[in-house]
Amino acid sequence: MSLSLASLLLSSSSLLASAPTILKTDVGPSRCEIWDSTKQVMQALAPEQTEVRAILTDGIAEVEVIQTFVSNFAKPTEAKYVFPLPFQGAVHGMKYRQDGKWRKAEILPKEKADSLYDSIKTAGGSAARLTQQRPDIFTQSMTKITPGDTVEVRITLSMPLKYKDGSFEFAFPTMIGSRCCNESTPPIFGTIAGWNPPADVEGPRIRFIVGIQTGFGIQDISSPTHAIRSISALAAVDTLVGRGLLKGPADLPLAFRNAVLLQPLNTFPNSDFVLRFSRASAEFQASSATWSDTAGGKYFRLEVFPDGSWSQGERPDMDVMMLVDRSGSQSGWPLEHEKAISKQIMNRLRTTDRLCMMSFDNINELAFVDTLRYATGANVAQAATFVDALTARGGTELAGAIKALTAIPNPTNRHRLFVFLTDGFITNEAEILAHLSSLPDLQVITFGAGDNLNRAFLEETALIGNGFSTPLVQGDDLPARVDEAWSRIESPALGGLHLDTKGLVVTDLQFPNGTTVYKGMSWSVLGRTTGSGSMPIEVVGSRTGVTDSVRVAATLNLGVTPVVGWAVPKLWARARIAQLEREEYTGATRKSEIVATSLAHQVLSKYTAFLAWDGASLEADASMKGGLVYSMSSPPSIVISEVDYKPGINKLPLGTPFKMVRDGSTWALQLDAQSTGNLVRVMDLAGNVLWQSPRHAGQTRFEIHGKLPATVVVQVRTASGWQGRKFTTL
C-alpha cells in the first residue's frame, strides 16, 4: 500500500500543495481494494490522508494512526484494505467515524467478530473490523461506505523503541513492499508480487508529528529517510495542540523536550519513516516504567543500558556462513549495499576463521565448490569476486536457501555465525522461523537493505537466532553501521540474562528481545509484582567464553507512574503473545492462551479482532475536541491550500483558484472571479458556522478576523447547492 507524506508548517514559509485525487487508482496493481457493488468489480482504494501522531518517551512510543477515506461510488460499497504497522506494536484500540458518528471497537475472538461482521453486512448495517494478517500487516474491513461519505479510522498502539550505541530509533512503515508469493503460502491480501512502488509520493497524503518526552537530555535528532524539522516543544505548542498531539498547552509536561515534523515538501521518498535521537549523556544505566492494575498489582518494564566493561574479551574462531539475497526486489542500491556489507565483513575475518558464501534467488550458488574455506587473502578475494558479479533476478526463495546453508555439516563443531542479508520480502516467514527454532546453539545476525523492509522477519529471525538485526536505509552511513555491527560480534555477548530481585517477588517475566545482549545494545524485561517504592535489583548474565558472572545494578521505581505508563501492560501482553506464537513454531498449541491474553489486555492478536458497529456509537470524542483548539501565535503570511473536502459537500472544480492567506490575526479568503455563489461561510469539523458573509457579484476577497481551528471547511452556496473545500490552518 503506497502512502505519501504531507508536510507541517511552522515557519513563515509558504507552500501551495497540489490537490488530492479522490479514490485514485494507483498505477500498477493495487495495494488496497474496495468492492464496487455497482460494477461488481474490485477497485483500488487508498486513504485520502493518513496521519501518524507519536509521543516517544523512555524507550516507549505511544502512537495514533488516523486514516481518512472518501467514497465517490454511486452506491454503498464494502471496503477492505491492507496496511502496515510496526511489528512489535501492541494494537489496543480502534474506532471509526461515519455519518457523523463515532463507533468504538471492542476486541472479540476472531470467529465471533467475523460472524457478527457478516451478519451486520447482510442486514445492511454499518460495521468496521480490524484483523491481523501478520505481526506487521493488518486488514481493515468496513461493511458500507455511502456515496460522498468520508470515513475516518483511528488506531492506537504502543511500541518499544529500538536502542543501539546510545541512540533510540522510532521506525514506522508507510507501505507494504511487494513480496514473493512462495510456494508454501498464499499471497497477502491486497498485495501483488512483482509491483514496484514509485520512488516518490505526493506530500499531502500522509503526515507525521512526533513529540519526544524524556527524563534525560537528548541530542542529535535526525532522520536518515526524510527531511524533518525539530524544534522545542514549547515553541511548537500551538501546532502540537492543533494537530491533536496535545489537548491543550496545560498538557505539556516539563519533560516534553522536542517536536519533530516533516519539512514542507511536495514529494517525499516512498520509504519507512525512521527517526533517531541520542542520550546527551550515558550516566544512567537503567530506566523503568510501572502501571498499577485494578487489583493493586503492578506491571513493570525495566530497560538496562550496560556499560562497555562487560563486553571486554576475545571472540573465538568461527565459521561465518553468509547468505546474500540477489532476488529481483533487491535491484538497485539495496543489492549494492548487500555487496558492500558482505565484503566489509569478509575483510574483518581472521585467517583462522572460515568463510562460506552463498547467494540465492530461485536457486542457490556457492562461492567455493568445497563450501567452506579459511579466510586467507586469496579466498576472501575469490568470495569478493563472486559477490561483485551478483545481479538482481528471480524470486525470494529464502526458506530453501536457509535450510541448505544450515544443513552444511560441521563435524568439528566449530562455532558458526549465520549472516543473512535480505529485505525479507517473503510470505512464508513461519516456515523459516519454525526451521530456525529447531536448531540448537544458533547465532544469527541479519542485515536488511531497502527503503521498505520486512522488519518483523529480520528482527524475529535474529531473536530466535540469539543475535541482532541491523536494518539499513539508503541515507545511512554504511561503513559506520557495519563497523557498529561487527564490533558486537568481536566482543563477547552477555547471555543467560535474568533478574536477581533481592527478595522482591516478580512473576510472569517476558523478555521481548531475548536473554542475550550485545555491546552497545540495551536489554528489557516486562513483568508483574506487588511490591512498592524504589527497589534495588541486579541484572545477571555471563560473557561468552567467560566463567564469572556480570552484574548490572538497576532500580525498579514502583512508586512512579510515567505519562505513558499505562502502555506497560499492553507491551507485556504483546510480548507474551509473541512468545506464545514462537512456541507454536515448534508444534505447540497456544491458541487458547493467546486469545485469553489478548482479550484480558485488549491487545490485538492473530486469533482476535477489533469490531465496531452501530450499537457502539459514541456521541462525542474528547480527544477530537481537543484537537480543534488553536491560537494565532504562529508567524504571519502563511498560505494554506486544499487538503480534502467536507463530506456531503460538492467539490469545487480542481482548476478553481481557492485559497486562504493569513496576515497576522486576519485571514484573507480568495475566490475565483468567475465562480458563482451568493453566500460564503467557514465551518469547523463539527458543523458549527464560525463566520459567514453574503457575496456580491464579482467579489473575490473576504477578510476573516479572529481565531480559527486547526482545520476548517470553506463553503460557497451556488445554484446547484453548497460547494466547498477543507483547509488546514497550520
Residues 399 and 453 occupy one common structural domain: yes
Is a pLDDT exceeding 70 seen at residue 686?
A: no
Residue with cell 480534502: 644
Q: What percent of the chain has pLDDT over 90?
A: 37
Residue with cell 491543550: 248
Residues 328 and 468 occupy one common structural domain? yes
Residues 345 and 470 in one domain: yes
Please give the Cα distance from 659 to 8 (Å, whole number): 17
Residue 514 φ/ψ region, left for φ over 0, alpha for ψ in the -120 to 50 degree band, beta for the rest: left
Domain match, 499 and 476 both: no
**Higher pLDDT among residues 347 and 279, named by residue:** 347
- In this model, does residue 126 exceed pLDDT 50? yes
**Residue at 547 is within a domain:** yes
Report if residue 180 sits inside a domain: no
CB within 8 Å of 412: residues ≥ 6 apart: none
Give the pLDDT of residue 146.
Answer: 76
Same domain, 523 and 457: no
Question: Are 539 and 452 in a shared domain?
Answer: no
| 324-371 pLDDT, tens digit each | 999 988 889 999 999 999 999 999 999 999 999 999 998 999 999 999
Q: How far is CA 237 from CA 5, 26, 231, 232, in A?
A: 22, 37, 10, 9
Q: How far apart are CA 629 and CA 709, in angstroms?
A: 6
Q: How far apart are CA 409 and CA 342, in angstroms?
A: 22
Number of domains in the chain: 3
User: Residue 422's domain is classified under what CATH number?
Assistant: 3.40.50.410
b/e map 366-396, b = 16+ CB within 10 Å: bbbeebbbbbeeebbebbbebbeebebeebb
Residue 543's CATH number = 2.60.40
Query: Of 454, 473, 490, which marks where a domain is finished?
Result: 490
Please list, in sequence order, all residues whose beta carbon lies within 8 angstroms of the beta carbon of residue 417, skipping any fewer than 6 positions away.
318, 319, 320, 321, 443, 444, 445, 489
Are residue 347 and residue 471 in the same domain, yes or no?
yes
Mean pLDDT across the chain: 79
Better pLDDT: 221 or 706: 221
Residue 660 lies in a domain: yes
15 touches 639 (CB < 8 A): yes
Picking from 490, 510, 540, the residue at the C-terminal end of a domain is 490
Instruction: Tell me which range, 463-467, 639-643, 695-699, is most confidently predicted by mean pLDDT.
Output: 463-467
Q: In this structure, are 480 and 556 located in the same domain? A: no
At residue 306, does pLDDT exceed 90? Answer: no
Domain harbouring 667, CATH code: 2.60.40.3080
The set of residues, in sequence order, having a beta carbon less than 8 Å from that of 721 and lying 6+ positions away, is 650
Its domain, for residue 663, covers 639-728
458 and 507 co-located in one domain: no
Whether residues 448 and 373 share a domain: the answer is yes
Higher pLDDT: 698 or 522? It is 522
H or E element, residue 379:
helix 377-388
Query: What would you report as the CA-atom Rg of the chain, rounded to the nearest whole angstrom?
Result: 27
Neighbours of 637 (CB within 10 A): 11
What is the rounded CA–CA span in Å between residue 73 and residue 471? 41
Task: Point out the domain boundary residue: 463, 490, 517.
Answer: 490
Asked if the structure places residue 464 within a domain, the reply is yes
Percent of the chain as helix, strand, coil, to the nearest 5: 20, 40, 45
Residues linked to residue 723 through DSSP beta bridges, in sequence order: 650, 716
**In a domain? residue 378:** yes
Nearest to 453 by CA among 272, 644, 214: 272
The model's pTM is 0.77
pLDDT digits (tens, 9 = 90+) for 173-197: 887 766 665 656 655 554 443 334 4
127 found inside a domain: no
Mind listing the pLDDT tens digit for each residue in 397-409? Answer: 899 999 999 999 9
Strands 127-134 and 679-683, by their bridges, are unpaired
359 and 456 housed in the same domain: yes
Q: Is 160:564 a contact under the CB 8 Å cutoff? A: no
Is the same domain home to 576 and 647? Answer: no
Q: What is the pLDDT of residues 550-590, one digit of tens each?
A: 888 888 888 766 666 778 999 999 999 999 999 999 889 99
Higher pLDDT, 403 or 311: 403
Q: Is the pLDDT of residue 172 over 80?
A: yes
pLDDT of residue 637: 26
Residue 93 inside a domain? The answer is: no
pLDDT given for residue 347 in this prediction:
94
Domain membership flag for residue 1: no
| Residue pLDDT, tens place only, 591-635 | 999 999 999 999 999 999 999 987 655 544 433 222 222 222 222
